[in-house]
Structure 1
Amino acid sequence: MNLPNPHKQHPRVSKRAWISETAVIIGNVSVGDDVFVGPNAVLRADEPGSSITVQSGCNIQDNVVVHSLSHSDVLVGKNTSLAHSCIVHGPCRIGEGCFIGFGAVVFDCTLGKDTLVLHRAIIRGVDISSCRMIPDGTVITGQACADALGPITKDLNRFKRSVVKANIELVEGYMKLREEN
């Protein structure tokens, strides 16, 4: 369901994106090519001056919430995965090739390229360098903790890339079904 916000801004969704019938996209939201938006996901840019941009190749899985506060932006970089039930709250910038795990919360921060946030982690008010890994359940609310994070492992980097690949294949499959009907 695509809805305007009170400022009469309508979502802009690529014809090459696949959006579940139960997903809700409201307001000043831009969704690029080859994006998968799963069941019950909500992308909401309805407050004054808010915006959300989801670049190409991303997947926003079931029950994800992306919301942008007044006068703030959320940017989700290319080929990024927002896994089941995570929350991304603006202001927020997520670099290309990132993974945000199940139930994780990311708010008022910047994540560098190829960052992996594992399940149920909380990231708030910090900048995370590229190619870092945030372990399961970790709470990062201070820059010193963010700066001390270790690099992503090769295994987890492969996993992250496989999730993007699988979801792009889903988009292609759903697009074929849509064309057939």
Structure 2
Amino acid sequence: MKRNFKMHLPNPHKQHPKVSKRAWISETALIIGNVSIADDVFVGPNAVLRADEPGSSITVHRGCNVQDNVVVHSLSHSEVLIGKNTSLAHSCIVHGPCRIGEDCFIGFGAVVFDCNIGKDTLVLHKSIVRGVDISSGRMVPDGTVITRQDCADALEDITKDLTEFKRSVVKANIDLVEGYIRLREES
């Protein structure tokens, strides 16, 4: 199976995506501009990673998964950093400026913008996190809106079962990457 590079496009500043050969990118994903994708990254169908505004960048570190219909976009003169082994679940939006630490999970339909999320943190489904810093090891419950720092500071610690859940999602997606790469190499 040959890789389809039609969906990896330069931005108006002639910056091209840098995608590891050890990543798997769906042919329907769209990756534009100053985007770096490391080894063992899974990018699912219809995901969009767009760093096309002046001075924008997106970095997706090793072992991450960017699932179906996720949108990652970086505003002018800002960056989006996705830490190692982080999951961006179906249809979430990550908008820069934004830093997400290692071993995090951003749930279905969640929106994170202009924030820093510490490592080993879980933002559950349909939540909104904007303009705050969330400490490591915290949990944002389903449907919660966090736009004030005092609310971010009051978040509870992540539970052991949710930590295990996060790990299982990363493992499942790394297994997918390895399987898809094997298929590509066999073709």
1:53, CA displacement in angstroms?
0.2
The whole-number CA distance in structure 2 between the counterparts of 1:173 and 1:21 is: 16
Say what the alpha-carbon RMSD is for the aligned residues.
Answer: 0.2
Counterparts of 1:1-181 in structure 2, within 5 Å, are 1-181=7-187
Runs of 4+ in structure 1 off by over 6 angstroms are none
The whole-number CA distance in structure 2 between the counterparts of 1:139 and 1:178 is: 42
1:104, CA displacement in angstroms?
0.1
1:174, CA displacement in angstroms?
0.2
1:74, CA displacement in angstroms?
0.1
The whole-number CA distance in structure 1 between the counterparts of 2:38 and 2:112 is: 21
1:102, CA displacement in angstroms?
0.1
> TM-score, length-normalised on structure 1?
1.00
1:107-133: per-residue Cα shift (whole Å, max 9, x none)?
A: 000000000000000000000000000
Letter in 2 for 1:54: V
Instruction: Give secondary structure in 1 for the equivalent of 2:163.
Output: helix
> TM-score, length-normalised on structure 2?
0.97
The whole-number CA distance in structure 1 between the counterparts of 2:82 and 2:67 is: 13
Equivalenced residues, count: 181
1:77, CA displacement in angstroms?
0.2
Structure 1: gaps of 5 or more residues: none
Identity over aligned pairs, percent:
85
Letter in 2 for 1:30: S
Instruction: Give secondary structure in 1 for the equivalent of 2:16.
Output: coil
1:45-103: per-residue Cα shift (whole Å, max 9, x none)?
A: 00000000000000000000000000000000000000000000000000000000000
Instruction: Give secondary structure in 2 for the equivalent of 1:155.
Output: helix
Letter in 2 for 1:81: S
Instruction: Give secondary structure in 2 for the equivalent of 1:158.
Output: helix
Structure 2: gaps of 5 or more residues: 1-6
